[in-house]
Structure 1
Amino acid sequence: MVKVLKHYINGNWAESSDSEKMDIINPATREVIARAPKGTREETEEAIKIAKTTFESGVWSCQSPQERAAVLLQIADKLQENVDVLTDLEVENNGKTRREAQSDAEEAAATFRYYASLLNMPKGQVYEASDDMQTLIVKEPMGVAGLIVPWNFPLLMSVWKIAPALAAGNSILLKPAEITPLTAVKVFELMDQTDLPKGAANLILGTGSVVGQTIAESHDVDVVSFTGSTEVGRRIMQAATGNLKKVSLELGGKSPNIIFDDADLETAVDYALFGIFMGSGQVCSSGSRVLVQEGIYDTFVERYVEKAKGIRVGPGNDEHSQMGAIVSEKHFESILDYIRIGKEEGATLALGGNRIEKNGLEKGFFIEPTVFTHVTSDMRIVREEIFGPVVAIQKFKDEEEAIKIANDTDFGLAGAVFSTDQNKAMRVIKKVRAGITWVNAYHLTNVQAPWGGYKQSGIGRSLSTYGLEEYQETKQININLDPKPIHWFE
């Protein structure tokens, strides 16, 4: 039976006033697995109004940090108890492998626990401004937080925003990606079973052009956090100027993975594969540009292609699958178009490049792991974010050229260096203009470290204490310890 989804507003599940529904598809089979409402501008504005009223009432914003932490831990427990359910939904709706989806579900619970722990830590600052004046620096919630999440990590990106926004004491309105709403709906079902006050967390399903635009434009939304493409990020930023609301953007990437000729070859190959083919390449921080020093270029390519051939592509619910489906037909066609462009530009197609139409996979959106070699920096497949299982392997001569090629991009989200010379690795990684970097590793990170990029990869940071501060105002409170007339005008 196909499930019909609803909005969640003020603690209640609500039908949409618009009778039109969006089909939610399993990308591995193209079957309709749910139908979601197309939220209207009026419904979104009503949810914002509810969030604002709830914030101003203080039922959540004025709770003590310890009380809020207790509720966050309740949510964490509910998520942990439902890891298998969340995993099934993520596999079915997004197409990623079960191993990836389960890792996301477990990290979601851990994220709520982390932010609960932050609320019980000392915070703020005290300054002795003079003998008679003392200044306190305190953090306060901002108000209504509009949270807009992408389709590549539907569960994890939702939680990365919900947990710190609620921890800070804000009321929230979440808009999941229109094609992958199932895990977000489940998270709200679970939050509904906790002591979180009604109205503190609201969910509107629908399109970015209506629901997302309304959130970004609203004068009653105090902060908007968006993860997605750079193009949409620009529109969010422009719409947010109406009330000069705070904007946090985590956008696209075209990240360099630099491999020197003194690197451990097997380790470098292994992480370079993981860096692009994990999540079928639909990861903003993917190492989609592999830069290899000329001394090992041919050897590296040969070994890389050999191992990439062995990647097992298939449905996420198949335990043998190592790479899952592309999330939608539209994005599937976009990736295939980029592969065509790469061949036309003169790059060497060393592996893949085709839709997989055997072993039952012809029903879904599956693409072979694709490797381009002998590329140049002016090619579109090197400059533009493909967001799929497509890697470009480029040659460089020395440190100076590696850094120049690495930074020759509009983006600056992630990057890595592989070398057994730690001094060289540190010299180079410090010059890579990116917010998330690794030495002799890729993709490994944790909730305690800030996530975000340079240049057109975004503004602000998620996770860590920085992620909490994205949803807080900073206030100074000045206390006169010896109140008496100042006699300024005498």
Structure 2
Amino acid sequence: MTLSSPVPDVVDLPVASLPTGLRIGGELSPGGAEPIEVVNPATGEAFATVAAADTADVDRAVRVADETFRSGVWSRMPIHDRARLLHRFADGIEARMADLYTLETMNNGRPITETKAQITRLAEWYRYNAALLLADRDAVVPLRGDYHAYTSRFPLGVVGILAPFNHPMMIASKSLAPALATGNSVVLKPSEQTPLTAMLLGDIAADAGIPPGVLNVINGLGRTAGAALTEHPLVKKVVFTGGTEVGRAISLATAGRFAKATLELGGKSPVLVFDDTPVDVAARGAAFAGFIGAGQTCIAGSRLLVQRGVYDRVVDGLAAQAQQIRVGDPSLPETQLGPVISERARTRILGHVESGIAEGARLVTGGRAADVPGLPGGFFIEPTVLADVRNDMQIAQQEIFGPVVVVIPFDDEDEAIRLANDSPFALGSAIWTRDVARAHRVAQQLEMGMVWVNDHHRLDPSSPWGGLKESGTGREGGWESFHDFTHVRAITVRTAADDVDWYGGRATGRLN
């Protein structure tokens, strides 16, 4: 394994100039809860302190958002004007791009090259949903008789978005963009571990002319501020990305008041490698699938299924790839793997590795904390490969959420499909093959929300993103997400020349 050494002149960002208060109704205010220290996972040290919301702050934010919604300043704004402001918002994001990706790397430890590649696409989500807003059309319903019937859509009201630590801006924007485009007001609560880019986004929205109270940003702990937001009776939809158990609790809370919920939860994505795939191609693809973002992504290719004819060579090739990955300071462009989010996360991940070895898995490479010169307090882990895993082992069934890939052999196509679908999770998956017919055939049998062929991790504003089973419900992206931030109403207009006189002796036709 190659370890990169840090240099003193990391990207300079004046953190002290960033907003640290709760943004409610266009104003920054201190929170009622204990302030939160923000830790750089590469150093293990706090580098900022932000305000935190208590339940009263959450209630105030939701009520301000609801009042703003009912005022119509955004919800009833002409769609061309709303789209124009969304484009201005996107312009503002592009203007602060360097600040956003630098800050996100400081905040969650993802290598700057990865963060930059992701954040530079952020504005696309706002522009795409602005375009959907202008392209959307009402449907005419072919009703029987002398009637003109059609549908119209209208916004839900207040939307609560709870964003995770691993991709704070991208995941928040996947729902924030359609929520705003369709006329809703939003209360955004970022992870307490990574609140800073969301706070900066609130500034950018205000500078772009988004009316006060339309986008409110509150920091706070998930168990207090997050719970209060998801349980608030005025919140008409909750969007959450995170663990399955928290998602289950949110689902119950929203169902109790018949609110909507989009939940993108855990994953244990299978990557199916067939023996017609060149070994070097498979090894590189598996490394990309499993180790990007230090494996801290719900769709990480953490369950590698390899056909027996190439199994040993793919395991060796993946191990070689893992050993070449440059682990180090995430602010350096040459770093390829940064730290995990916290010491607690590192302990949990390494505990999974130990349990897997105890179950009978073979440790091929990694499996330890990584020592990065100059960053003794960072939460680094060596890229880890565990081979000879059975699909019924805990490490094959549980989400590890770290740079750990488990490798499982299979004999034929039917077994590969069976193993892939044998999981409580069903978010993403990938197929590596040179046989185009097999690619389509297998993809149609994978019970997953997303399937990639000869690739992984790709997303676009136009493509629906989400899973099933314990990976959640609902979709982000495309028309599927856009319309889920609206209600639909059916409007029926009688066009007959005569009046309705059902009880006057002229009762004809159908009631339903």
Q: TM-score, normalised by structure 2?
A: 0.93
Counterpart selection for 2:198 from 138, 163, 184: 184
Deviations 1:414-438 (A, max 9, x none): 0111111111121111111101111
User: Does the alignment pair 1:313 with 2:324?
Assistant: no
Counterpart selection for 1:129 from 137, 143, 156: 143
Query: Residues of 2 paired with 1:481 and 1:314: CA distance?
Result: 71
Deviations 1:23-64 (A, max 9, x none): 110000112111122311111011111111111110000012
Query: Residues of 2 paired with 1:68 and 1:270: CA distance?
Result: 44
SS in 1 for 2:228: helix
Counterpart selection for 2:224 from 198, 205, 210: 210
User: Does the alignment pair 1:97 with 2:147?
Assistant: no
Please name the residue that 2:269 is paired with. Answer: 255
Query: Residues of 2 paired with 1:165 and 1:439: CA distance?
Result: 31
User: Does the alignment pair 1:38 with 2:52?
Assistant: yes
User: Does the alignment pair 1:298 with 2:326?
Assistant: no
Please name the residue that 1:403 is paired with. Answer: 417
Please name the residue that 2:22 is paired with. Answer: 7
Query: Residues of 1 paired with 2:134 and 2:214: CA distance?
Result: 21
Query: 1:59-78 to 2 correspondence within 5 Å?
Result: 59-78=73-92
Please name the residue that 1:350 is paired with. Answer: 364
Please name the residue that 1:462 is paired with. Answer: 476
Query: 1:417-456 to 2 correspondence within 5 Å?
Result: 417-456=431-470
Give the stretch that moved more between structures: 437-446 or 291-300: 437-446
SS in 1 for 2:285: helix
Q: What amino acid does structure 1 have at the position aligned with 2:313?
A: T
Q: What amino acid does structure 2 have at the position aligned with 1:328?
A: S
Deviation, structure 1 residue 131: 4.6
Deviation, structure 1 residue 299: 1.1
Contact 2:74–2:82 (CA under 8 A) maintained in structure 1: yes
User: Does the alignment pair 1:17 with 2:50?
Assistant: no
Deviation, structure 1 residue 137: 1.3
SS in 2 for 1:120: helix
Q: What amino acid does structure 2 have at the position aligned with 1:315?
A: D
Please name the residue that 2:399 is paired with. Answer: 385
Deviations 1:295-330 (A, max 9, x none): 110111111111211000111111110111111122
Query: Residues of 1 paired with 2:278 and 2:492: CA distance?
Result: 57
Contact 1:36–1:206 (CA under 8 A) maintained in structure 2: no
SS in 2 for 1:349: strand
Deviation, structure 1 residue 213: 1.0
Counterpart selection for 1:365 from 379, 388, 396: 379
Please name the residue that 2:163 is paired with. Answer: 149
Please name the residue that 1:412 is paired with. Answer: 426
SS in 2 for 1:180: coil
Deviations 1:202-247 (A, max 9, x none): 1111011111111111111111111111111001111223311111
Change in 2 beyond 3 A, CA 1:358/1:201:
closer
Deviation, structure 1 residue 168: 0.7
SS in 1 for 2:126: helix
Q: Which runs of 5+ in 1 are unaligned?
A: none
Taking every aligned residue pair, what percent have the same amino acid on both sides?
A: 38
Q: What amino acid does structure 2 have at the position aligned with 1:276?
A: G
Deviation, structure 1 residue 11: 0.5
Deviation, structure 1 residue 71: 0.7
SS in 1 for 2:50: strand
Give the stretch that moved more between structures: 179-188 or 422-431: 422-431
Q: What amino acid does structure 2 have at the position aligned with 1:166?
A: L
Q: What amino acid does structure 1 have at the position aligned with 2:276?
A: D
Query: Residues of 1 paired with 2:29 and 2:164: CA distance?
Result: 23
Counterpart selection for 1:230 from 240, 244, 249: 244
Counterpart selection for 1:481 from 488, 491, 495: 495
SS in 2 for 1:91: helix
Deviations 1:431-477 (A, max 9, x none): 11101111111112211100001211111000111111221111111
Contact 2:158–2:186 (CA under 8 A) maintained in structure 1: yes
Query: 1:240-251 to 2 correspondence within 5 Å?
Result: 240-251=254-265
> Aligned Cα RMSD in Å?
1.3
Deviation, structure 1 residue 484: 3.9
Please name the residue that 1:198 is paired with. Answer: 212
Contact 1:48–1:221 (CA under 8 A) maintained in structure 2: yes
SS in 2 for 1:13: strand
Contact 1:126–1:135 (CA under 8 A) maintained in structure 2: yes
Give the stretch that moved more between structures: 156-165 or 406-415: 156-165
Q: What amino acid does structure 2 have at the position aligned with 1:398?
A: D
Deviation, structure 1 residue 338: 0.8
Query: Residues of 1 paired with 2:164 and 2:372: CA distance?
Result: 30
User: Does the alignment pair 1:285 with 2:299?
Assistant: yes
Contact 2:23–2:202 (CA under 8 A) maintained in structure 1: yes
Contact 2:290–2:403 (CA under 8 A) maintained in structure 1: yes
Query: Residues of 2 paired with 1:226 and 1:466: CA distance?
Result: 16
Contact 1:217–1:242 (CA under 8 A) maintained in structure 2: no
Deviation, structure 1 residue 483: 6.0
Give the stretch that moved more between structures: 365-374 or 464-473: 464-473
Q: TM-score, normalised by structure 1?
A: 0.98
Query: Residues of 2 paired with 1:465 and 1:240: CA distance?
Result: 23
Please name the residue that 2:509 is paired with. Answer: none
Counterpart selection for 1:339 from 345, 349, 353: 353
SS in 1 for 2:291: helix
